[in-house]
Structure 1
Amino acid sequence: MPTLALLLSAVAVAGPPQRLESYDGPWQHMRVIRPQQYVAYSTSEPVVIDGRGDDAAWQSAEWTAPFVDIEGDRKPRPQFLTRAKMTWDDDYFYVFARLDEPHVWATLTEKNSVMFQDNDFEVFIDPDGDNHDYYEFEMNALNTIWELSLGRPYMDGGPLRNPHNIDGVRTAVHIDGTLNDAGDEDSGWSVEIAFPWEGLARHRGAAHTPPRDGDQWRVGFSRVEWMVNIVDGKYVKVPRSERPEDNWVWSPQGLINMHRPERWGFVQFSTAAPGTAEFVDDPTLPARDWLMGIYHRQRAYREQFGHYADSLDLLGMNAEDRPEIVTDATIEMTEASADTPADETNGKDADKAVQRGYLVTVQLQFPDGTTRPLRLQHDSRLW
């Protein structure tokens, strides 16, 4: 004879599908942010990597917008100015950044140390903009560097490849003042980096290296800034437990997490004369943002109900919410890939649980009549 518990369980299984009635997750803050845009012009001038950025190639390159807090307008503007420039040639993607700073200090000297324990400058590059297989680079005022990459963002299980060195990266630092001297006040420091296309090709996916005229990559810049005290004539970093570090970025994320590539800036590569090319808005961006809204709601749905939703209605979304260019949208439940991390399963035991994922496919139709599909996977891959 069946027990009451079994009967209640059967009723629950046979009951109507559960619906996500509300959503108050990170996408609420992320979705209102428009990624920054920049046109990087090619150069035929030689670029001397000395950290100064005073070559002819840099004179015609425009500054990015000043960096802001990583959370965006919800937080005050940074205390110190940070800006960057970009240019490129047949061999390298060049980045120059200037960081205003009254107290320039650094401690880490071993390559591939955890660089954000010092004040640092960071670069994130996702050539094909699919949120996966991206390159991360960090450096401090001692010109010590850290190279790593991620197959997927940390939220989606990585994996982290650390270290992940690209042959031929060239770097330099220039200090406008003194280093590790608490007895004076500095003006700041600047960094200059040459990323070889040959090395970045490992992460290009569907992109081209070198890029073609008009190609767009997703790029993020971040500056980590720690507060210091001066004790006995030396800099002493204030620990995170007393005051967390500041994160100042070119394109805000909406939350304290640089590993959300969907909010990195757009860099458009151009072979035109500097200052003459118009940035072309990505026509798929409204659809991409709509799909990332599905992704974030799916995460909330799984956290609440233990599995992903198989319809937009269960996520609290409907056809009226979608952008005009999206003509059709389907959710297909799938088996997750073999390397899906344990938290992507429907149970705590990854060996026994049935790994389930999803694939959202939308059809896009542009004003000129052309069409193309766009796909989102449960691990945030978007292509």
Structure 2
Amino acid sequence: MRTLALLTLPVLLAAPAVGGSDEPPITREAACRRVETPPVLDGKLDDPAWAAARADEINRFSAFWAGEGRGEGTRAWLVWDDDALYFAATMTDAELRAFGTERNDRLWLGDVFELFFKPSGDDPRYYEFQVNPRSVILELAFPRRGHPFEELAARPPMGFEAVAVVDGTLDQPGDTDRSWSVEGRIPWSLFEATGGRPAIGDSWRFALCRYDYGPEGTDPLLMSSAPLSQPSFHRYEDYGLLHFKGPND
């Protein structure tokens, strides 16, 4: 597991801020709505599933630990069905950079979109997923926080899929890029150790996170939907709540 040092690295549904008007924008609660037809994973975000989730957009991101709002230009959605949890995100990005070409590389050394889920407050197990602009993925099932990354990364594929699309030129310094988007599928079988598929009305702890790299030699911007009190995406005590909803809830 990596721990981020602030000095060395850099929904329409969102709960009201509880720390006052000066609190950076974050998402304390969000909805994951059940859909009848799953999205096609092509990175285009034009599926009926995402249209159905429009009102559940997660668009509040910040470096909460530093008191900085950074959410403009980052939007995400989560939906589910009997087979899997699906996610989509679109992110503005003037400098598209990626690191890693193989599954479970250290993708966070370049632009990356990350998802963390902790199904149980009593069970120490939690999950991390990443995808970079090359559609390379990382999937880790943590038995506990602090478990060695190398051991987890060496485990066989678990079934996570994702596709990214870039609007610009990847890894070409000096030009101005525009954005990238991603769609992904996480099968419920991957969560079997913590109970598998949730039921309508269940809630999990979750955080959506992002590394946004700029020009060479500058520190990346880190941001999360969760009100993280420390610069670590693994601080699940601070995660928001993800409520699993029916199609008409």
TM-score, with length taken from structure 1: 0.54
Structure 1 unaligned residues grouped into runs of 5+: 1-30, 229-236, 278-383
1:186 aligns with 2:203: no
Which residue, 222, 229, 236 being the options, matches 1:247? 222
Q: What secondary structure sits across from 1:49 in the alignment?
A: coil
Deviations 1:327-359 (A, max 9, x none): xxxxxxxxxxxxxxxxxxxxxxxxxxxxxxxxx
- CA deviations over 1:298-326 (Å, ceiling 9, x no partner): xxxxxxxxxxxxxxxxxxxxxxxxxxxxx
- Structure having greater relative contact order (Cα 8 Å, sep ≥ 6): 2
Deviation at 1:159, TM superposition (A): 5.2
**1:128 partner letter:** S
Shift in CA distance, 46/272, structure 1 to aligned 2, threshold 3 Å: closer
1:76 and 1:199 map into 2 onto residues whose CA distance is: 34
Higher helix share: 1
Following TM superposition, where does structure 1 have runs of at least 4 consecutive aligned residues deviating by more than 4 angstroms?
31-35
Deviation, 1:132, is: 1.2
1:89/1:226 Cα in 2 relative to 1: closer, same or farther (>3 Å)?
A: same
Instruction: Give secondary structure in 1 for the equivalent of 2:68.
Output: coil
Q: Pick closer, same or farther for the CA change 1:70–1:246 going to 2, 3 Å.
A: farther
Retained in 1: the 8 A contact 2:98–2:109?
A: no
- Are 2:102 and 1:85 equivalent residues in the alignment? no
| Structure 2 counterpart SS, 1:45 | coil
1:79 deviation in Å?
Answer: 7.5
Paired residue secondary structure (1:262): helix
Q: Deviations over 1:245-272 (max 9, x none)?
A: 3210011201101111111121111114
Instruction: Name the count of aligned residue pairs.
Output: 223
Mark the structure with the bigger radius of gyration.
1
Tell me whether 1:75 sits opposite 2:28 in the alignment. no
Query: 1:257 corresponds to which residue?
Result: 232
Cα contact 2:113–2:211 (8 A) shared by 1:
yes
Identify which of 176, 198, 206 aligns with 1:211. 198
Which secondary structure state, in structure 2, belongs to the residue aligned with residue 221 of structure 1? strand
**Structure 2 unpaired stretches of 5+:** 1-17
CA distance in 1, matches of 2:152, 2:64: 24
Query: Over residues 46-89 of structure 1, what are the superposed CA-to-partner deviations in whole Å (9 max), with x where a residue is unaligned?
Result: 31001111101110112113211141xx4332275212100011
- Residues in 2 aligned to 1:138 and 1:86: alpha-carbon distance in whole angstroms: 15
Contact residue 71 and residue 223 of structure 2 kept, 8 A: no
- 1:271 aligns with 246
Aligned with residue 105 of structure 2, among 104, 107, 113: 113
Q: Distance in 2 between matches of 1:260 and 1:170?
A: 25
Contact 1:110 1:144 in 2 (8 A): yes
